[in-house]
Structure 1
Amino acid sequence: MIFNWQYLGDSKQSVRKFLQQRGMSRTLLKKIKFYGGQLQVAKMPVTVKTMLRPGQTLTVKLPPEPAQAPLTPSGTPLQILWEDAHFLIIDKPAQVASLPAHAHPLDSMAQRVLGYYQRQGYTNQVIHLVTRLDRGTSGVMLFAKHAFAHTLLAQQLQTGRLKKNYLAIVRGHLASQHNRLTWPIKRAPHSFIKRTTAVGGRTALTEYWQVSQLPTATLVRIHLHTGRTHQIRVHFATIGHPLLGDQLYAGPKVGGLSRPALHCAQLKFYHPFLKRTLTINSPLPTDLQQLLRFETK
C-alpha cells in the first residue's frame, strides 16, 4: 500500500510529526524502517527526522504484512455493503461466527473474507477484523484491508467516533421510551460464555429508544457506547426484558426464531482516506421481519 501526502504547513515539519498527525503509530513507523517500507520525497529516500518543506509530497510505502496464523478459506460468498482499497464492509448473516472457534472451526466470517480475498487475487490477505458480532447477531461488519487502516479505525472505536446502532426485539413493554443502561458487566460465575451485571465488572453503557410497541414485545433502536461481550443481551435481561430468542439469557422462544432478535443495522465512521463520514446500513433480515409480522398478528 502506497500513500502520497502533500505537506501544506507554513513552516518546516519533521516527517515523524507529519505522519503521527495522520494517525501513524510509532510501531508502524518502526516497521516501515526495518521491515521493507519506504519514505520518499521527490523519489529520494528520507527518514522520520527529515524536515518537510511546505508544498513537498511525502510518499509512504507500507511494509509487507507478515503472514498470520493459518486460516482455512471459505468459498461461501459475501454480501458486500461497501468496499474500497482500505475497507471491506459486509452484511453478516445470523448463526455464523465472526472468527473460527473450537465449536465452529469452519466458515466463519473471517474465513469467508479470506476466501473472497483469494478469489479476487488481492496481494495482502491478512484479516483485520475491526468490528465483530456475536454468532447469533446479524448485520454490518467492518474489516480493514491493511494494518494502518485497522489502527485508525481502532482509534475511532476507542474515542466513540465509530458508532454502531442496533435493532432488537425485546420481551414485554418497556417502562421508558428512552433510557441509558449502565450496569457493569463481568463473566458469570462458573461459565466461560455467559456474562452478568455485577459490582467490579467492566463499565458498560447501552442507550436505547423505543421504535414501536408490539402486543407482547418492543422493537428498540440501540446505540452502544461501550463494547462489552453480550452487552445488549445482558443489559436488557437485567431489566427484565430479554431479547426474543435469546435462550442464554432467558429470552422466550417465539415464531420459530433460532437466535437472539438482534441486528446491527448501521455503522457510521470517519473514512480517514476519503476524509468524509460514511454511514452504512443493513436492512432487517427476513427472520426478524417475519418475527415482527408474527408479533403483530
Structure 2
Amino acid sequence: MTLFKLKFTSNSPQKLGAFLMKHGFSKQAVNNAKNHDGLILVNHKRRYTSYQLHKGDEIIFVPGQEKANPWLRPSDKPLVRVKETANYLVVNKPAGVLSIPSRYEDDDALVNRALGYFTKSKQEEVKPHVITRLDRDTSGLVLIGKNPIAHARFAKLSKDDFVKKYHAVVHGNFASDELTGMIKAPIAQKEGTVVRQIDPAGQSAATEYRVLNQVAGASLVELRLFTGRTHQIRVHLQSIGHPLFGDPLYGVADNFTRQALNCYYLAFPDPFLDQQVEIKIPEPLDMQELWQNLQG
C-alpha cells in the first residue's frame, strides 16, 4: 500500500486541504482518498480537509483505489526498466513504440507494457501515468508515475528543474561560429495535418543545441528542450537547415529507418526524497551503427 507522510512546519495555521494542494495532491486525489478506500490522517486521526493544521502536526495520506481504465489492456512485450521507486518508473523506450495508445493502436504502447509489468510484479493496484512522452520513432528515457500524486508533483517542476537531453544525427555540417546555439521559434500545427511548422502565431518553443562531432555531410548534436511542443526538435532542426536522419516528414529521404533521435539523459529533483536524480543511457545500436557508417 502506498502512503505519504508529511509534517506541517509552518508557524501559521493552515487548512489541511490547502496544505495538501500545495504539496501536489490534486482535488481529485483528495476526493479519491476520502471516498474510495483511502485515508487522510492528522496525528493518526481522520480529519476533514477543513481541519486547521498547527506546527508539528503529522499528516498521513493514503490514496484511494484508482478507477481502472476499461480500455487499457496490459501487454507482455518487454519493458526496459532503468530506475524504479515506490512512486515512479524510468524506462528506455525503443523506437517504433507509442508512448500512449492511439485510436488505431491500443494494445502495445509503453503504457500497455507498463501495465503488464505492474500486473506481473504483483503491483495490481498501480496504474501507469506517463509524465514525459516521446514520438513513436524517438527512442530513450521516459518517466512514468505509479500514482496520480507522482504525476501531479512532477507536473509542478519547472523546465529549469527538469532536464531532458537528446542526441541526434543530422544532415549537413555547422559553421565554426554555429557549433552552439539556442533556437527560439514558435511552432503551430499545419491545418488538417499532423505536421508542425514555424509560425509567428504558434506556441513559443526553445531548443538549445551543441555540436559534438562532424563528418562529411553529417553532424552529431546534443539538444536540450526548454519547452515541450509536439515534434519540437524535428521542426527546429529543419528550420536551421539540419533535418534529422530518418525523418522524411521534416527532412530528406535517406536510408535510416527512423528518426535518429534518442533521449539519453534525464535529471530532476525527486519530489518525494531530498535528492537529485540523474540518469544516462548509451545510444541504441542502430544510431551507433549509423554514426559509424557515416564516418566511413
Q: What is the distance in 1 between the residues matched to 2:35 and 2:76? A: 36
Q: What is the distance in 2 between the residues matched to 1:162 and 1:294? A: 34
Question: Which residue number in structure 1 is paired with residue 180 of structure 2?
Answer: 178
> 1:27-67 CA deviation, whole Å, 9 max, x = no partner?
43333334443221332211223233433321111111111
Letter in structure 2 aligned against 1:296: Q
Kindly state the Cα deviation for residue 73 of structure 1 after the two structures are TM-superposed. 1.4
Question: Which residue number in structure 2 is paired with residue 5 of structure 1?
Answer: 6
Kindly state the Cα deviation for residue 82 of structure 1 after the two structures are TM-superposed. 0.3
Question: Which residue number in structure 2 is paired with residue 120 of structure 1?
Answer: 121
SS in 2 for 1:98: coil
Q: What is the distance in 2 between the residues matched to 1:284 and 1:237? A: 22
Normalising by structure 1, what TM-score? 0.92
SS in 2 for 1:274: coil
Question: Which residue number in structure 2 is paired with residue 233 of structure 1?
Answer: 234
Letter in structure 2 aligned against 1:247: P
SS in 1 for 2:224: strand
> 1:113-152 CA deviation, whole Å, 9 max, x = no partner?
1110110111324220101100100000010000011001
Question: Which residue number in structure 1 is paired with residue 167 of structure 2?
Answer: 167
The residue correspondences of 1:85-96 to structure 2 (distance < 5 A) are 85-96=86-97
Q: What is the distance in 1 between the residues matched to 2:192 and 2:39? A: 51
Q: Is the 8 A contact 1:80 1:91 kept in 2?
A: yes
Q: What is the distance in 2 between the residues matched to 1:277 and 1:33? A: 32
Q: Is the 8 A contact 1:94 1:136 kept in 2?
A: yes
Q: What is the distance in 2 between the residues matched to 1:113 and 1:92? A: 11
Q: Is the 8 A contact 1:171 1:252 kept in 2?
A: no
Q: What is the distance in 2 between the residues matched to 1:20 and 1:104? A: 35
- Confirm or deny that 1:276 pairs with 2:275: yes
Query: Identity over the aligned pairs, expressed in percent?
Result: 34
Of the three residues 174, 179, 189, the one matched with 1:187 is 189
Q: What is the distance in 2 between the residues matched to 1:183 and 1:8? A: 44
Relative distance call for 1:105 and 1:61 in structure 2 (3 A) is closer
- Confirm or deny that 1:287 pairs with 2:286: yes
Relative distance call for 1:49 and 1:104 in structure 2 (3 A) is closer
Once superposed, what is the RMSD of the aligned Cα atoms? 1.8
Letter in structure 2 aligned against 1:168: A
Letter in structure 1 aligned against 2:60: T
> 1:211-245 CA deviation, whole Å, 9 max, x = no partner?
11122111111000111111100111111110011
Letter in structure 1 aligned against 2:187: I
SS in 1 for 2:131: strand
Question: Which residue number in structure 2 is paired with residue 71 of structure 1?
Answer: 72
Relative distance call for 1:125 and 1:11 in structure 2 (3 A) is closer
Q: What is the distance in 2 between the residues matched to 1:185 and 1:40? A: 46
Kindly state the Cα deviation for residue 84 of structure 1 after the two structures are TM-superposed. 0.9
Q: What is the distance in 1 between the residues matched to 2:92 and 2:45? A: 43
Q: Is the 8 A contact 2:89 2:144 kept in 1?
A: yes
SS in 2 for 1:152: helix
- What is the aligned length? 293
Kindly state the Cα deviation for residue 206 of structure 1 after the two structures are TM-superposed. 0.9
Does 95-104 or 263-272 show the bigger shift? 95-104
Kindly state the Cα deviation for residue 6 of structure 1 after the two structures are TM-superposed. 2.7
Gaps of 5+ in 2: none
Does 56-65 or 7-16 show the bigger shift? 7-16
Q: Is the 8 A contact 1:124 1:145 kept in 2?
A: no
> 1:4-30 CA deviation, whole Å, 9 max, x = no partner?
223334454432343233222344333
Normalising by structure 2, what TM-score? 0.92
Q: Is the 8 A contact 2:3 2:61 kept in 1?
A: yes
Question: Which residue number in structure 1 is paired with residue 206 of structure 2?
Answer: 205
SS in 2 for 1:249: coil
Gaps of 5+ in 1: none
Q: Is the 8 A contact 1:124 1:146 kept in 2?
A: no
Does 68-77 or 208-217 show the bigger shift? 68-77
Q: What is the distance in 1 between the residues matched to 2:260 and 2:101? A: 22
Does 30-39 or 114-123 show the bigger shift? 30-39
Letter in structure 2 aligned against 1:29: V
Q: Is the 8 A contact 1:167 1:263 kept in 2?
A: yes
Q: What is the distance in 1 between the residues matched to 2:35 and 2:74? A: 30
Relative distance call for 1:251 and 1:103 in structure 2 (3 A) is farther
